[in-house]
Structure 1
Amino acid sequence: MTYGFDTLQIHAGARPDPATGARQTPIYQSTAYVFRDADHAAALFNLQEVGYIYSRLTNPTVAVLQERIATLEGGQGAVCCSSGHAAQIMALFPLMGPGKNVVVSTRLYGGSITQFSQTIKRFGWSATFVDFDDLDAIEAAIDDDTRAIFCESIANPGGYITDLDAVAKVAEGAGLPLIVDNTSATPYLCRPIEHGATLVVHSMTKYLTGNGTVTGGVVVDSGNFDWSASGKFPSLSEPEPAYHGLKFHETFGPLAFTFHGIAIGLRDLGMTLNPQAAHYTLMGIETLSLRMERHSANARKVAEWLEKDPRVAHVTYAGLESSPYHDRLARICPKGAGGLFTFALKDGYEACVKLVDSVEIFSHVANLGDTRSLIIHSASTTHRQLTPEQQEAAGAAPDVVRLSIGIEDPDDLIADLDQALSKASG
């Protein structure tokens, strides 16, 4: 039987606890798990049997969360980890090697731009940044050493919607996996795998958990990519010395990437999600559709008000008919444009700083996707390590403020922005 999203966000991956009958998934706060006997232990370590060994690798609470998110995204499997940034490294780890590169969108979260432009160099990897509205530029950036293409479905901070179908065709033509960060959209608004994505990553810290309590990340595997076709992905297609020559793709088929992420990625990188964080995220996902509907409705109302305000230069929300990305909504994000967008002030940088200091309901924090409405001046915080050119390309220019619209009364949010704008433009 096929179930709807609202049902799956509550039930997928979970059953009443067989030992106690507990209806909510328990927090299995255990480091290790007892083997039935020596043969059972050997089978687990040889990847001949699925089970629990050590919570750096697998944990029953985390396993429920992995199955739930994979189901909601339409993937074959998922690997949870300690943060969204961890998820991005986990996604690249089996694909990359010294001298290899990834082609990435210029419209990314500032921390991701820093991770791709600076940090991955320490692994001998590199990134080429491209405007993903320019498909020819994406193709031109791909060379023999490219191993993946990376973008965000709804880009942070501007709320830009990426034409995933078009980008996926470029990736497919080049024989490369497309990795999509779906944090801002969530699987309720956008399912990148249906648009050709190979892997989907999330910062679960944001909308999936939804209440600003924990950090977490996840990599979802579509199961659709042929890792053995080109010889470019030996970690998945060739014998693995640590497992007596086992070939992950040959052995596990559509779950090859997922098994590699656990058996190699979590084993060696140790970016483990703790079970209590998994529990909070599971509870958050139970109301995901309800929250995303409200986030989107509130954001549209606030954005429409801001667009008409004479103190505002422009608003980037894709839910506005004036947005150049509005025509992608019906195809990429049919249920709404989410709760994230930016707006520019005519009075520039100093007015932005004053605005952030003057709000009362909005919280000035470096986060998004909370039930509470959040505000930040990206150029002086999340994107301050970037050059002015990078800030501009990422949608975080000095005169721009980012909003993450929560689920409060939208009229209260508008009134708060109105009084803060009055102070900022005084």
Structure 2
Amino acid sequence: MNFEYSDKVQGLLQRLKNFIAEEVIPAEQTYYEQLEQDRWGEPSVMETLKRRAKEAGLWNLFLPDSEHGAGLTNLEYAPLAEEMGRVLFSSEVFNCSAPDTGNMEVLAQYGSPEQQARWLKPLLEGEIRSAFAMTEPKVASSDATNIETEIVRDGEDYVINGHKFYISGAMNHRCQIMIVMGKTAPDSEDRYRQQSQILVPMNTPGVKVIRPMTVFGYDDAPEGHAEIIFDNVRVPRENLILGEGRGFEIAQGRLGPGRIHHCMRLIGQAQRALEAMSRRAEQREVFGRPMIKQGSVREDIARSACEIEQARLLTLKAADQMDRCGNKAARDLIAMIKVVAPQMACNVIDRAIQIHGAAGLGQDFHLARAYSYARTIRLADGPDQVHMMQLGRNLAAAYAAQED
């Protein structure tokens, strides 16, 4: 694979770096201060940043569709996502944040013209936010065939009953639509044809937002992670995406790019942590000399740089495989990076916290939030153990089929 980016990508990357350095980083403290005034609203500084990003042509960069996005491949998008990942809220500035990106991809790929006009268009414009409701508290949702939410046809409607939690984005006041995963054929012999996905507006009667779920004490405002009860929620049959029994298929198509986008952003977070620990080590004195003179500190910095670069290269390889051979052919590499990148980020950020001492745990540095995010991604879109289980199965079968 070619590690040299095209002139187009290099130009976009430089413009993005400049925008983040000149607009986003200086607004970071203001953003969090404004959040204290309205935890689930959009800070006014975000509105300003979005307007400027759109004016600068730095909008919907994740979309391979050049009509609505930048027309980039996964490999080309990787360095941009990494740069956006340096600031936790930065992806939203460019309309490139989860779960909206995955939902836009679902609607673009599987949605009907009516669904695209009603929901995809305002999402592409950044006028609304969205959520993806899959995880349930009563079953192991890492196996999607376990989900229990019912989607039952009733005349010209579907009626939904179920219990979801950690539904990212659903606490936001601007979240208007959810894609809900449930079962339309729970008794089907094919466990992978039991599920369907359906569009449910947040203001539908029977949608009950119970509470925001926290992650290590953080509420992750303004998106949040909601616990939601669906109590006889009735929506038109036209809200079903693609057709009954196609939910698992849609989920697999959605999660491939989503998983690698998380990994790209985590590399940005880890890189920022590495830079922060390096500055801290150079500037801080311990036991009468600069911290950087301590051998263990040097080793932490060196080891972190090695691990980041390893994860970066694996991410690029997975992205390249997705572009050339498709998501299904790249599934093993996607699984590898989904295991490697979050663990790497946790390790690097943890070392940065250690080098910052008690201050690394507090609000004066970004490290505590960053660690919470990295640790979350070890579970989001499938826990490490599930990816390793499937990866081990695939590799063993492939190697066993080879002749000695």
After TM superposition, the score normalised by the length of structure 2 is 0.24
After TM superposition, the score normalised by the length of structure 1 is 0.24
Larger RCO of the pair (alpha carbons < 8 Å, separation 6+): 1
Larger helix share, 1 or 2: 2
